[in-house]
Structure 1
Amino acid sequence: MSDNAPLSPSKAVEDFDVTIVGAGPVGLALAAWLARRSASTALTVALVDAREPVDAAADPRAIAVSEGSRMLLEPLSAWPASAHAIERIHVSERGRFGRTLIERDEHGLPALGYVARYGAIVDALGETVRRTHTRWLTSASALTPHAEQGDDWITLPIESGRQHPTLHTLRTRVLVNAEGGLYGDVRAIGGAGTPVSREKDNGGATRDYGQTALVGTVTVSAPQPHTAWERFTAEGPIALLPVGGMRQADYALVWCMVPEQAERRLPLSDDALLAELGVAFGDRMGRFEAIKGRAAFPLGLTAAKTLARGRIVAIGNAAQTLHPVAGQGLNLGLRDAHALADALARHGATPRALADFARVRALDRRLTIGATDALARLFTVDMGPLSGLRGLALAALELVPPAKTALARQMMFGQRR
């Protein structure tokens, strides 16, 4: 029932209670949760994205999804059937003692987490949103730098159409940035009738880890089904996440290294790259036999201190981007969206709702961002003679079950009201 029709040039302005910019998993999930609450709140919702849904659904990237996120998505009928369960996580450091093993049975859960294709998550959520009254505008760019806000409305120009772009205007009571990006993209509010400007410094955290992630899908000769691996090396972490395949032998690879090594390795032949990966990771799963879909991207931390300003709010990667060491980016973003839907259902499309959302999310964001940053720094920074402390940290987690349980539960479920 979703209205995907383009905006009519003859209608100068269309009004909505909530406009979501970005139809990735976080933006789609917010639209779906708002629709579930529409019977009591009657909020009108627009969803704006520059891509066509079919393009987003084709995205092959593998992404880690926690058990807590599955529990949020399943009631929406938006859980991808192809998601692959993680039943145990093996964490160790190459060449040093100390390791920790996290098992699903320790927590009484069906799985510790899952690995799903990004496009499959988008496709499942998209099907849910299409069954709602959400106004989904595709191939449409929100010109947020040119938005203006008044006391009750934000006026947002929209450019739609690829071959012959047409300019239209939306008015919205709440503008949600779910498009991703750095913390500097959180939009601040000026005075009434003034442009919405980019906030240059909102007191948020930024960190350059001096690393690049080389990613792809690898096939191993001795798979251990449903086991995820986090292997810390002198260069940086190597994560292998099970994605199934023939013999359950395919794994999503995230290999963190200094940018110079990534630049050197990316163009290597498959055999040469896999040989170097084998040396770095070890032989716990036999030989690395094949790799496909390789790519690379820089790693850093950005986290906005201020999520909401007046009638504008940021969620997901628009509010924070994290190191992939703990696989928490999407999970944190989904908890953002769920909490925002709750706040809008309680208080309507008002600044009060956004302020309440920011307050509710403060603890979970602080704990998850802090834990991820601490892990990234502990296992990516050259500590010289103190490097042995990393092995001690892993051993301590194994020897002190409450500490391991607390960390695991934060990563699986976060802090929710």
Structure 2
Amino acid sequence: MNQEALDFDVAVCGAGPVGLALAAFLVRRGLPGPRIVLIDGKALGQAISDPRSIALSWGSVQLLEEVRAWPLPATPIHEIHVSRRGQLGRSLMDRGEHGLPALGYVTRYGQVVDALARACERDGVAVLRPARVESFDEGAEGVNLRLDDGREVRAQVAVQAEGGVFGQQEDKAQRRDYAQTAIIARVTASQPLPHRAFERFTDEGPLALLPQDDGDGHQYALVWCMRPERANAVLALGDEQFLHALGEAFGLRLGRFTAASGRVAFPLGLNAEARASTRTVAIGNAAQTLHPVAGQGLNLGLRDAAVLARALGRGAKPSAIQAFMDERARDRRLTIGLTDAMARAFVGAGPLQPLLGLGLGALDIVKPARMLLAELMMFGRR
């Protein structure tokens, strides 16, 4: 790429799903693909091979359809069963109440990246990878970014879409360490309930099982949150012991757990701040890293991307960034607050836990409240 080509309207730092989606949305809003550049430290093949499971809300699927990145291989969620271990009360959300084919879908991170990367390639979006931004200088007329390979990129607006994981980020204004670790695996159950997802709150944190049967014999993506010291012990268990411990925590709704894939773990925390300057703005995980309860992180980031593209489509200028910040404030605040409350409220064994369990039962009875919660999870604050 020659020096003349390193001048763009919008530079997107981070080519994960949120950064890629932003670039694709920008083209739909009228910016020419070659005037947008994606900068990422990973080779595309490395990102596509990422096997992590992710949950896409129905609202996110609609956004992916808009940029021609859907359909892709995914398992639909028809029902979501929410309960509190050891307490009465549960709630069941069903797609039929909303007249939708699914409440959401479970797929793999790499498959979403692949679909969005192909959409950006069709649109002619410029890509610099592997390359990392070492520094940037914001001036009155634009932003200059220096890459680790010596190249310089100039843009009217720079977007930070590379977030990383909690514990490896610069601290933001709203930060909370939940003192929990998430264990991630894929497991098989002897009596699976097709298309039903589970969110089960325990004394140590939530345990989520998401239906994901893509033909390899595994049937659920597991996100099991617990105290860090216990997580270390659970990670060290043999498969049979691990499956027994999982069964003890989850119960018998799916029969026995009979197989598990390799396990990985990462620390959990809230790290959020609505950061923006005259010509720079952060979206997705770069703006808000959330607890995985209710699976809202990526979905919130995709909504960021859609709204920012709409604002920048009116012109890559400072007023667009402020318009974006104003429009996103309520959805961000509500989703962050709701996720934070859910991550903390059900932890422990105090006297409030029976009331919270009964609250889940009340939610199941009061249909308007249940539908409102489901719609917030699917679409955010509209």
Conserved 8 A contact 2:33-2:125: no
Q: Deviations over 1:354-410 (max 9, x none)?
A: 000000000111111111111111122x25222212212201211221111111101
Aligned to 1:238: 207
Aligned to 1:174: 157
1:76 to 67, 88, 111: 67
Q: In 2, distance between residues paired with 1:386 and 1:140?
A: 50
Conserved 8 A contact 1:302-1:320: yes
Aligned to 2:102: 111
DSSP 3-state at the match of 1:293: coil
Q: In 1, distance between residues paired with 2:37 and 2:339?
A: 33
Aligned to 1:53: 44
1:220 to 189, 198, 209: 189
Q: CA deviation at 1:185?
A: 10
The amino acid that maps onto 1:84 is T
Q: In 2, distance between residues paired with 1:184 and 1:284?
A: 34
1:278 aligns with 2:247: yes
DSSP 3-state at the match of 2:346: helix
DSSP 3-state at the match of 2:124: coil
Q: In 1, distance between residues paired with 2:299 and 2:61?
A: 9
Q: CA deviation at 1:236?
A: 1.7
Aligned to 1:352: 319
The amino acid that maps onto 2:350 is G
Q: CA deviation at 1:268?
A: 1.1
1:211 to 175, 180, 184: 180
The amino acid that maps onto 1:368 is T
Q: In 1, distance between residues paired with 2:85 and 2:154?
A: 55
Q: In 1, distance between residues paired with 2:373 and 2:207?
A: 20
Conserved 8 A contact 1:20-1:47: yes
DSSP 3-state at the match of 1:147: strand
TM-score normalised according to structure 1 size: 0.88
1:393 to 342, 359, 363: 359
Q: In 2, distance between residues paired with 1:105 and 1:359?
A: 34
Compared CA separation, residues 31 and 142, structure 1 to 2 (3 A): same
Q: Deviations over 1:267-307 (max 9, x none)?
A: 21101111111111111101100110310011111110x33
Compared CA separation, residues 184 and 62, structure 1 to 2 (3 A): closer
1:44 aligns with 2:35: yes
Residues 330-345 of structure 1: pairs in structure 2 closer than 5 A: 330-345=298-313
The amino acid that maps onto 1:372 is T
Conserved 8 A contact 1:17-1:173: yes
Q: Deviations over 1:244-275 (max 9, x none)?
A: 14598610000010000001111211011111
Q: Deviations over 1:167-205 (max 9, x none)?
A: 11111110000001479999xxxxxxxxxxx8x76xx31
Compared CA separation, residues 283 and 366, structure 1 to 2 (3 A): same
Q: In 2, distance between residues paired with 1:80 and 1:336?
A: 21
Q: In 1, distance between residues paired with 2:201 and 2:154?
A: 49
Identify which range, 349-358 or 229-238, moves more after superposition. Answer: 229-238
The size of the alignment, in residue pairs, is: 382
Conserved 8 A contact 1:224-1:285: yes
Compared CA separation, residues 361 and 318, structure 1 to 2 (3 A): same
1:402 aligns with 2:374: no
DSSP 3-state at the match of 1:244: coil
Q: CA deviation at 1:311?
A: 0.4
Compared CA separation, residues 43 and 111, structure 1 to 2 (3 A): same
The amino acid that maps onto 1:95 is G
Q: CA deviation at 1:231?
A: 1.0
Question: Which consecutive unaligned segments of at least 5 residues does structure 1 have?
Answer: 1-6, 160-165, 187-197
Q: In 2, distance between residues paired with 1:138 and 1:42?
A: 17
Percent identity over the alignment?
54
**Which consecutive segments of 4 or more residues in structure 1 shift more than 3 A?**
181-186, 245-249
- What is the RMSD of the two structures over their aligned residues, measured on CA atoms? 2.0
Aligned to 1:321: 289
Q: In 2, distance between residues paired with 1:394 and 1:43?
A: 50
Q: In 2, distance between residues paired with 1:185 and 1:16?
A: 30
Q: CA deviation at 1:349?
A: 1.1
Q: Deviations over 1:295-350 (max 9, x none)?
A: 0011111110x33211010000000011111100000000000000000012x111
DSSP 3-state at the match of 2:212: strand
The amino acid that maps onto 1:55 is Q
Identify which range, 243-252 or 123-132, moves more after superposition. Answer: 243-252
Q: CA deviation at 1:75?
A: 2.2
Q: In 2, distance between residues paired with 1:218 and 1:255?
A: 12
Q: In 2, distance between residues paired with 1:292 and 1:229?
A: 19
Q: CA deviation at 1:234?
A: 2.0
Conserved 8 A contact 1:181-1:318: yes
Aligned to 1:99: 90
